[in-house]
């Protein structure tokens, strides 16, 4: 239930390109939460450390000046765009709740560069600090010379957040950064040291392994023989960023455990049981909307390695050609991995795996759903494989797995572990394996659709695995005999021969997987068994079931469709008549017109309200749905207040069939408002004359919504204002005594999440 800032709909791409050209001076600036103000400092390659640094006309010059300064809550450090610095950026100080310290850019041009060049462990570093936000930097940390055999790899990271003071450190936001070319060494937890190579070493244990790469969150202790209290990181967000060609990992979290030689074992990051009281994980961790690739390094080994975490969300990322594992969770609780596109995962650096997803050892309450996994070595590995850790639970549902070259679902579950696997679509042409591995843990397969051009792919059938009511393409001769409710036939996919488009730096293309939806005549339609607690939504956000029963596979019948899109560019300039292109327009005593803003070829609709009129509807532009839209629906639009007045404009309001607003977003008096349940909450500020992209992702099944402004998550999983089983109307409007003007452009209302639309 999320939206990727970097992803622009195909229907609006041309219009937005035009907008960018015409409005070069009116950039879509993210609406920021209203934090307490501090001092803004400027840093430029043309500055001087003798300057005050508090204006762009008198900036500082060096990283050493910044690093020697202890900043205060609310301060902002801005580096000039187009400039570059070599060495380490490590500003001191901490923010407080409601007033973080921020790093950002200023001016026009490329993101300012911080290049560690392998001379420092972290090109950008924080240590025992909290309440920091880092945006719009270009960060690298590669040794510039050396051989290509791994000898130049070292203990390097692009951005490193560290702590060892025995406290809980809060609020770390890394947003819209580009981290690349980090020559981090590869250290494995286990294996044999006989397999060591330059830059690659085995049998390192928990604390000494897997802690290099692009962005890392790591805690330790000041004395391994007297560890004291744990340091916990809370409130971690990495979003809208690119991480390229970094080794070991793209993004990693790791809590200290104390298993190095000579250390006192703490167990903070590792645990032997699900309720181990020593386990003290990080909390509230989100990785969203990032592009991660290791296509041009032979030492990349994990896209996202999420360990020692309780309460994690990994969503909307594109993970492209990384080594070993796209997303691996380990020693983690309550993690959801969803709406990601993962492709091209391969063997690397002595690792044995090449999977897209891996809920690994010591993981409980893992939900892996709505992911598009294609052209990987392996689809999903369930690797609860430590004989000393006999617990774990995972749900795998509504994933699309295609093009695996080795395994599709590989089981390596110890006794005591539980995997519930249902409503996945698994289709391949090359792999001889469907369900493989050695397993003593319990696994249940229900409503999965297995399709292969191979006639006899492997399905392991130990007594610990239950197959029930799965679907199989009719050519399969090796389907499990224990599946007495098997459904067999031709899948009748929309287009199984699809070869793209696939995700890239602009975001995932989850919609491509919709080609594996069933056509209405398929034998697998309405043939699924009822699964309790199934989330109520299929891969595309449609309600489950649509018909008399759930479908087999990841989709309810039919490919998801776009309900509505309009750029207004083809309309005549002037008053917009009610009924034009299906729009409901009310302009009594006021004005609703198509205008040439931002340009004659990129028009918008302007609503102007100067006096009373229109009753409850007021001055109103609305889209009505005679059959209310159900499931997950994304409402995406560009809006701009363009007046000197401060009246309340709903931008937009979403209504149920009874006419009551269930989701409400408003721009008024310089503030952006959203109702969370029945409470009006100020979530940010806006600037008059600037365009903002407002994206609502509305889930009518679970009665919740998310709100993004220019791709920045402002509201997550909030309750509806009133019950709304289906969306009957979406309106941009103002009424009563409110006055002012607003522009609306590039409206798109689509079924499913905003990812991949």
Q: What share of the chain is helix, strand, coil (3-state, %, to 5)?
A: 5, 45, 50
DSSP lists the bridge partners of residue 469 as none
Q: State yes or no: pLDDT of 26 exceeds 50.
A: no
Position 20 confidence tier, pLDDT thresholds 50, 70, 90? very low
Residue 515's φ and ψ, nearest 5 degrees, are: -65, -15
With a CB cutoff of 8 Å and minimum separation 6, the contacts of 349 are 186, 200, 247, 298, 299, 300, 301, 323, 324
Q: Which segment of 139-148, 172-181, 228-237, 502-511 scores lowest on mean pLDDT?
A: 139-148
Burial class (CB in 10 A: 0-12, 13-18, 19+), 543: middle
CA 317/CA 242 separation, integer angstroms? 10
* 18 has pLDDT over 50: no
Question: In this predicted structure, what is the pLDDT of residue 646?
Answer: 87
pLDDT higher than threshold 80 for residue 1 = no
Once rounded to an integer, what is the mean pLDDT over residues 142-159?
90
Return the pLDDT at 269.
Answer: 97
pLDDT above 60 for 28: no
Averaged pLDDT for residues 52-75: 98
pLDDT given at position 35: 62
Region 537-564 average pLDDT: 91
So what's the pLDDT on residue 33? 56
Measured CA to CA, the distance from residue 543 to residue 628 in angstroms comes to 12
Confidence category of residue 757, pLDDT binned at 50, 70, 90: low
Whether the Cβ atoms of residue 204 and residue 257 lie closer than 8 Å to each other: no
pLDDT (tens digit per residue) in 375-432 = 999 999 998 888 788 899 999 999 999 999 999 999 988 889 999 999 999 999 889 9
Cβ burial of 7 (10 Å; 0-12, 13-18, 19+) is buried
- Specify the pairing of strand 76-80 against strand 40-43: parallel
pLDDT tens by residue, 162-196: 999 999 999 999 999 999 999 999 999 999 999 99
pLDDT of residue 749: 95
Average pLDDT over every residue of 565-573: 97
Q: Kindly report, residue by residue over 332-361, the tens digit of the pLDDT.
A: 999 999 999 999 999 999 999 999 999 999
- Model pLDDT for residues 466-491, shown as the tens digit of each residue: 999 999 999 999 999 999 999 999 99
Say if residues 637 and 650 touch (Cβ distance below 8 Å).
Answer: no
Residue 460 pLDDT greater than 50, yes or no: yes
pLDDT at 31: 54
Looking from the CA of 163 toward its CB, the CA atoms found within 13 Å total: 24
Q: Return d(Cα 449, Cα 471) in angstroms, integer.
A: 4
| Span 589-613, pLDDT tens digits | 999 999 999 999 999 999 999 999 9
For 76, phi then psi, to 5°, come to -130, 135
Structure confidence by residue, pLDDT tens digits, 416-449: 999 999 999 999 988 999 999 988 899 999 999 9
Cα 564 to Cα 242, 556, 695: the distances in Å are 31, 20, 15
Cα dist from 328 to 208, 418, 442, whole Å? 18, 17, 20
pLDDT at 96 over 70: yes
End-to-end CA distance of the chain: 13
Concatenating the DSSP letter of every residue in 654-668 gives: EE-TTS-EEEEEEEE
Residue 630: burial class (beta carbons within 10 Å; 0-12, 13-18, 19+): buried
Q: If you average pLDDT over every residue of the chain, what do you get?
A: 93
pLDDT band at 149 (very low <50, low <70, confident <90, very high): confident
| pLDDT of 512 above 90 | yes
Whole-number pLDDT of residue 11? 32
Per-residue pLDDT at 314 exceeds 60: yes
CA dist 171 and 163 (Å) reads 13
The predicted structure's pLDDT at residue 16: 30
**Residue 145: its pLDDT value, please?**
79
Query: At 509, is the pLDDT very low, low, confident or very high (cuts 50, 70, 90)?
Result: very high
At residue 9, the pLDDT reads 33
Could you identify the residue written with the tokens 């690349």? 180
pLDDT at position 742 = 98
pLDDT confidence of residue 387: 78
Per-residue confidence (pLDDT) for residue 438, from 0 to 100: 86
The widest CA-to-CA distance across the chain, in whole angstroms, is 83
């Amino acid at each position: 239930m999320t939206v990727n800032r970097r992803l622009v709909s195909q229907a609006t791409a041309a219009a937005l390109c035009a907008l960018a050209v015409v409005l070069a001076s009116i950039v879509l600036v993210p609406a920021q939460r209203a934090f307490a103000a501090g001092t803004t400092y400027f840093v430029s390659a043309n500055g001087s450390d003798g300057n005050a640094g508090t204006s762009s006309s008198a900036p500082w010059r060096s990283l050493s000046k910044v690093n020697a300064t202890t900043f205060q809550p609310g301060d902002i450090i801005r580096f000039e765009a187009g400039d570059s610095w070599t060495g380490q950026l490590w500003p001191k100080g901490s923010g407080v709740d409601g007033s973080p310290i921020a790093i950002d850019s200023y001016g026009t041009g490329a993101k300012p560069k911080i290049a560690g060049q392998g001379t420092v462990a972290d090109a950008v570093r924080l240590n025992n600090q909290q309440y920091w936000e880092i945006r719009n930097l270009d960060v690298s940390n590669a040794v510039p010379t050396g051989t290509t055999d791994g000898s130049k790899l070292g203990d390097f990271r692009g951005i490193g957040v560290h702590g060892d003071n025995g406290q809980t450190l809060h609020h770390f936001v890394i947003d819209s950064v580009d981290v690349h070319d980090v020559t981090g060494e590869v250290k494995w937890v286990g294996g044999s040291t006989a397999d060591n190579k330059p830059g690659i070493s085995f049998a390192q244990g928990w604390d000494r392994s897997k802690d290099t790469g692009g962005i890392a969150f790591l805690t330790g202790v000041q004395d391994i023989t007297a560890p004291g209290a744990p340091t916990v990181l809370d409130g971690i967000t990495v979003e809208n960023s690119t991480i390229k060609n970094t080794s070991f990992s793209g993004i990693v979290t790791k809590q200290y455990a104390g298993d190095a030689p000579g250390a006192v074992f703490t167990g903070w990051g590792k645990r032997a049981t699900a309720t181990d009281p020593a386990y003290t994980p990080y909390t509230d961790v989100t990785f969203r909307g990032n592009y991660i690739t290791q296509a041009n390094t032979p030492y990349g080994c994990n896209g996202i390695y999420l360990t020692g975490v309780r309460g994690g969300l990994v969503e909307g990322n594109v993970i492209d050609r990384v080594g070993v594992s796209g997303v691996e969770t380990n020693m983690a609780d309550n993690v959801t991995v969803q709406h990601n596109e993962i492709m091209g995962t391969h063997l690397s650096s002595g690792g044995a795996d090449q999977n897209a997803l891996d809920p690994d050892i010591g993981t409980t309450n893992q939900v892996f759903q709505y992911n598009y996994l294609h052209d990987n070595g392996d689809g999903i590995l369930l690797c609860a494989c430590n004989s000393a850790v006999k617990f774990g639970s995972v749900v795998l549902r509504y994933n699309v797995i295609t093009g695996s070259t080795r395994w599709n679902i590989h089981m390596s579950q110890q006794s005591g572990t539980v995997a519930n696997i249902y409503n996945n679509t698994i289709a391949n042409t090359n792999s001889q394996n469907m369900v493989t591995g050695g397993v003593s843990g319990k696994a249940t397969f229900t409503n999965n659709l297995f399709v292969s051009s191979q006639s006899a792919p492997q399905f392991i059938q130990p007594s610990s695995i239950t197959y029930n009511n799965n679907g199989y393409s009719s050519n399969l001769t090796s389907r499990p005999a224990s599946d007495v409710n098997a459904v067999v036939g031709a899948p009748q996919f929309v287009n199984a021969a699809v070869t793209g488009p696939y995700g890239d730096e602009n975001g995932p293309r989850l919609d491509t997987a919709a080609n594996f939806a069933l056509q209405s005549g398929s034998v697998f339609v309405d043939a699924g068994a009822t699964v309790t607690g199934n989330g109520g939504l299929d891969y595309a956000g449609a309600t489950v079931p649509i018909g008399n029963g759930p479908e087999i596979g990841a989709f309810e019948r039919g490919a998801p469709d776009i309900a509505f899109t309009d750029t207004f560019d083809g309309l005549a300039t002037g008053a917009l008549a009610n009924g034009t292109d299906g729009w409901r327009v009310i302009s009594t005593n006021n004005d609703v017109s198509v205008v040439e803003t931002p340009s004659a070829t990129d028009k918008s609709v302007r609503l102007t309200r100067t006096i009373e009129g229109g009753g409850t509807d007021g001055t109103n532009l609305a889209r009505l749905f005679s059959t209310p839209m159900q499931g997950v629906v994304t409402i995406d639009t560009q809006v701009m207040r363009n007046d000197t007045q401060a009246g309340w404009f709903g931008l937009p309001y979403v209504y149920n069939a009874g006419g009551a607003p269930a989701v409400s977003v408003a721009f008024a008096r310089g503030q952006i408002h959203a109702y969370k349940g029945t409470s009006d909450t100020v979530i940010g500020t806006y600037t008059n004359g600037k365009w903002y992209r407002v994206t609502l992702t509305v889930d009518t099944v679970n009665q919740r919504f998310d709100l993004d402004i220019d791709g920045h998550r402002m509201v997550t999983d909030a309750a509806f204002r009133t019950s709304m089983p289906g969306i009957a109307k979406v309106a941009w409007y103002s009424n009563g005594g409110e006055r002012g003007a607003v522009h609306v452009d590039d409206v798109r209302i689509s079924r499913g999440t905003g990812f991949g639309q």
